[in-house]
Amino acid sequence: MTNTKTKNPQTLGEFIIEKQADFQYSSGELSRLLSSIKLAAKVVNQQVNKAGLVDIVGAMGNHNIQGEEQQKLDVFANETFIAALNNREVVCGIASEENEDYIKVHAKDNVNLSKYVVLIDPLDGSSNIDVNVNVGTIFSIYRRTSLEGSVQAEDFLQPGKNQVAAGYIVYGSSTMLVYTTGNGVNGFTLDPSLGTFYLSHPNIQIPKNGKIYSINEGNYIKFPQGIKKYIKYCQEENEDRPYTSRYIGSLVADFHRNLLKGGIYIYPSYSNAPKGKLRLLYECNPIALLTEQAGGKASNGFHRILDITPSELHERTPFICGSKEMVEKVEYFIKNAK
Ligand code: P6P
């Protein structure tokens, strides 16, 4: 006797279609865009999951525009997401951490009516691939601002508050796709046997406070005074402290854990990285939108990340994001550092 009470969990495809109604005058274009990201996520997941078995691990010998040695899986992920977005003509432009300049997507009949641009970090944390640590893909979607013709730089250089959607895929013990279109944050877990993402974490809310702090303490001596004081605050025997230090070296994995359990991720500016290390457009802005949609906070220590107007595609920013009260505590220490 099957238990008719247990409703099948909703698939990502069903959810995207159902939520399409959230968009006034929705033409279904954003739904098709999100579906192409879903497809690329499955293809990349397949390769990430067998990275140790096929000749796809290990540096390709090339260096990306960041000067970072490109792991083969980086290149594969980048090409997979670009192809998925290109082939369905759902975007007019694509920017990627792996590409120096943005890509103009030309429709077959040269009339590209798509109104969206996508920015991606195709495989964040990729230096962890060959040691089997979680990696992730981060994506950010805007409506173009230029009115006609090919996509322009201005379409990508928008403040993060203009994003129409943002999310990530975390390839880990299970593979999850977490995203927002401005109406809350929802998480979907891939059933690899069916190749289907199912709604597993509806309406995610990050706890207002937490006991996990994520920062590369190896750089402690170079940190600004306020950050040093906050780290010492986390380690004090007092009230609800000491906190737990958890740092994987993969933003998506560290953020995902803090989103579900409460916590804070910090990549500050310091002597070696005067503007921090993380990229504003395709790492910090999408994660900041998810953070705020889940009830948390994301700043550069002084200003809301989503209010920053970028001046260049690959610009960096100091990044502090997670549980609201923890971010506010760091901001307090930064502002009152002697
Ligand atoms: P570090 C990965 O390269 C990344 O962009 C983030 O995913 C990660 O949190 C951070 O850099 C790690 O940087 O300097 O601590 O190794």
Per-residue pLDDT of 260-309, as tens digits, reads 999 999 999 998 899 999 999 999 999 999 999 999 999 999 999 999 99
The verdict on the CB of residue 250 being under 6 Å from ligand 1 is yes
User: What is the per-residue pLDDT for 59?
Assistant: 59
Check: complex ipTM more than 0.90: yes
Choose the residue to mutate in 277, 279, 317 for probing ligand 1, maximizing ligand atoms within 8 Å of C-beta. 277
Residue nearest to atom 13 of ligand 1 (CA): 249
The verdict on the CB of residue 138 being under 6 Å from ligand 1 is no
Distance 283 CA to ligand 1 centre (A): 11
For 12-201, give the CATH class: alpha beta
For residue range 24-54, list pLDDT tens digits in order.
656 788 999 999 999 999 999 998 887 666 5
The verdict on the CB of residue 251 being under 6 Å from ligand 1 is yes
Round the average pLDDT of the chain to a whole number and report it: 91
User: What is the per-residue pLDDT for 155?
Assistant: 97
Cα→Cα distances 81→45, 95, 181, 220, Å: 12, 11, 19, 36
Q: Judge whether 125 is annotated as a binding position.
A: yes
User: What is the per-residue pLDDT for 172?
Assistant: 86
Distance 18 CA to ligand 1 centre (A): 36
Q: Report the C-alpha gap between 56 and 50 in whole angstroms.
A: 9
**And the tokens for 71?**
């792991």
Architecture of domain 212-335: 3-Layer(aba) Sandwich (3.40)
For residue range 158-212, list pLDDT tens digits in order.
999 999 999 999 998 899 999 999 999 999 999 999 999 999 999 999 999 999 9
Report long-range pairs for 49-54 (Cβ below 8 Å, ≥24 apart): 49/171, 49/175, 49/192, 51/129, 51/130, 51/132, 52/130, 52/132
Please report the sign of the dihedral spanned by the C-alpha atoms of residue 56, residue 131, residue 298, residue 312: negative
pLDDT band at residue 64 using 50, 70 and 90 as cut-offs: confident
The verdict on the CB of residue 279 being under 6 Å from ligand 1 is no
Give pTM, 2 decimals: 0.94
Domains in the chain: boundaries: 12-201, 212-335
User: What is the per-residue pLDDT for 23?
Assistant: 66
